[in-house]
């Protein structure tokens, strides 16, 4: 391996300790911080994520409450009888700590203050922590989901990177990736991005968490061993983007509580 590790676990611990301090300061002013999580699906990934959120909240002194709003179903992201648009409209942007309402997403596009989805925010916090220069850099984000690829691309753009968003209809993906100084993988296909797709010295961020039969734990979208021989920096899976997601959700929660307390 020649790449250095962008250590999400360690960085998340720092962010979470900061959040804990902020929650303590709020408590000393009589402000109680609580995260309410609406749970619509009971698939293993959602259950695991909710469990992680609860544990992280406890450690930071934040109360957490999970509300089940639908029957067991595999439909993603909301059961058929629930109207996702109406649910998102009903959520006030000032409490949208996952940054998924149209208002929050619009604010991101318009360069206005607002909450950003936890995973792309976590990616940006990690790059910032390691002082990865983004200005003028060629960034390629693979994936255009509303919760990950698109906001990650917009945040990289905000930092003056020149950004390309790739997706399932993109042609010549390996060639495109080879142009990237910063490559963000947000696809959901285990080890799809091969070592020889990486530009020498590139920074590689792997947001993928994939289950692979016969393999223990989660597998990223990037062939870590191959990419780490070529990249300058790389996130591991696990221990990269995942812990940063939870930490960013907590820091958004602290932001929301501080903003409410100021009113
Ligand atoms: P998603 O909604 O399924 O989006 C996947 C994106 O990848 C889509 O834009 C899709 O293109 C694109 N894509 C699929 N196959 C492709 C291919 N062969 N070549 C190029 N692009 C392709 O997934 P997501 O929710 O964004 O999640 C992506 C990955 O990140 C998953 O592994 C997920 O588990 C992980 N994730 C991790 C965290 C975390 O906390 N670390 C949080 C959320 C998600 P089209 O738009 O054309 O279909």
DSSP class per residue in 99-142: --SHHHHHHHHTT-S----HHHHHHHHHHHHTT---TT-EEEEE
What does the pLDDT look like over 141-200, one tens digit per residue?
Answer: 999 999 999 999 999 999 999 999 999 999 999 999 999 999 999 999 999 999 999 999
Average pLDDT over residues 198-209: 98
DSSP class per residue in 42-79: --HHHHHHHHHHHHHHHHHT-EEEEEE-S-S---SSS-
Ligand 1 midpoint to CA 39 (Å)? 21
Distance CA 217, CA 209 (A): 9
Closest to 71 (Cα-Cα) out of 61, 79, 63 = 79
Write down the pLDDT at residue 38: 85
Pocket lining: 211 vs ligand 1, CB cutoff 6 Å: no
How many CA within 13 A on the CB side of residue 235?
A: 37
Distance CA 117, CA 147 (A): 6
pTM confidence score: 0.95
Ligand 1 midpoint to CA 18 (Å)? 30
Average pLDDT over residues 236-246: 97
Ligand 1 midpoint to CA 188 (Å)? 4
Whether residue 77 has a cis bond before it, omega within 30° of 0 = yes
User: Which residue, by CA, sits nearest to atom 8 of ligand 1?
Assistant: 143
> In the block, which residue shows the tokens 């501080």?
258
User: Which residue, by CA, sits nearest to atom 22 of ligand 1?
Assistant: 168
Helices and strands in the chain, H and E counts: 9, 10
Distance CA 134, CA 127 (A): 9
When pLDDT is cut at 50, 70 and 90, the band that residue 231 belongs to is very high
Write down the pLDDT at residue 89: 82
Average pLDDT over residues 35-39: 90
When pLDDT is cut at 50, 70 and 90, the band that residue 117 belongs to is very high
When pLDDT is cut at 50, 70 and 90, the band that residue 79 belongs to is low
- Ligand 1 pocket test, pick from 165, 197, 207 with the greatest ligand atom count within 8 Å of Cβ, gives 207
Pocket lining: 143 vs ligand 1, CB cutoff 6 Å: yes
Pocket lining: 205 vs ligand 1, CB cutoff 6 Å: no
Ligand 1 midpoint to CA 32 (Å)? 36
Pocket lining: 173 vs ligand 1, CB cutoff 6 Å: yes
Distance CA 139, CA 142 (A): 10
When pLDDT is cut at 50, 70 and 90, the band that residue 41 belongs to is confident
Pocket lining: 189 vs ligand 1, CB cutoff 6 Å: yes
**Three-state DSSP class for residue 163:** strand
Is residue 74 scored above 60 in pLDDT?
no
Q: How many CB atoms lie within 10 A of CB 24?
A: 12
Beta pairing class for 210-211 and 218-219 = antiparallel
Ligand 1 midpoint to CA 159 (Å)? 22
**Joined tokens for residue 5:** 């590790």
What does the pLDDT look like over 213-225, one tens digit per residue?
Answer: 999 999 999 999 9
Q: Which atom of ligand 1 is nearest to the CA of 246?
A: 40
User: Which residue, by CA, sits nearest to atom 31 of ligand 1?
Assistant: 188
Distance CA 3, CA 18 (A): 28
């Amino acid at each position: 391996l020649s790449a250095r590790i962008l250590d999400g676990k360690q960085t998340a611990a720092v962010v979470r300790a900061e959040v804990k301090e902020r929650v303590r300061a709020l408590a000393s002013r009589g402000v109680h911080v609580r995260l309410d999580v609406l749970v619509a699906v009971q698939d293993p990934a959602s259950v695991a994520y909710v469990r992680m959120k609860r544990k992280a909240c406890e450690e930071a002194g934040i109360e957490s409450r999970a509300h089940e709003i639908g029957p067991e179903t595999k439909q993603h992201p909301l059961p058929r009888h629930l109207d996702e648009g109406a649910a998102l409209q009903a959520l006030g942007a000032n409490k949208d700590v996952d940054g998924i309402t149209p208002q929050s997403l619009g604010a991101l596009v318009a360069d206005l203050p607002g909450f950003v989805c936890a995973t792309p925010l976590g990616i940006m916090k990690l790059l910032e922590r390691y002082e990865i220069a983004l200005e003028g850099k060629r960034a390629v984000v693979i994936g255009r989901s509303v919760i990950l690829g698109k906001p990650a691309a917009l945040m990289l753009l905000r930092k003056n990177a020149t950004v390309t968003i790739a997706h399932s209809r993109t042609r010549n993906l390996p060639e495109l990736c080879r142009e990237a100084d910063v490559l963000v993988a947000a696809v959901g296909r285990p080890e799809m991005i091969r070592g020889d797709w990486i530009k020498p010295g590139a920074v590689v961020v792997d947001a993928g968490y994939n289950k692979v039969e016969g393999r223990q734990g989660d597998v990223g979208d990037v062939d870590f061993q191959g990419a780490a021989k070529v990249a300058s920096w790389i996130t591991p899976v696990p221990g990269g983007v995942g812990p940063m997601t939870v930490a960013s959700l907590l820091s958004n929660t602290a932001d929301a509580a501080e903003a409410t307390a100021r009113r």
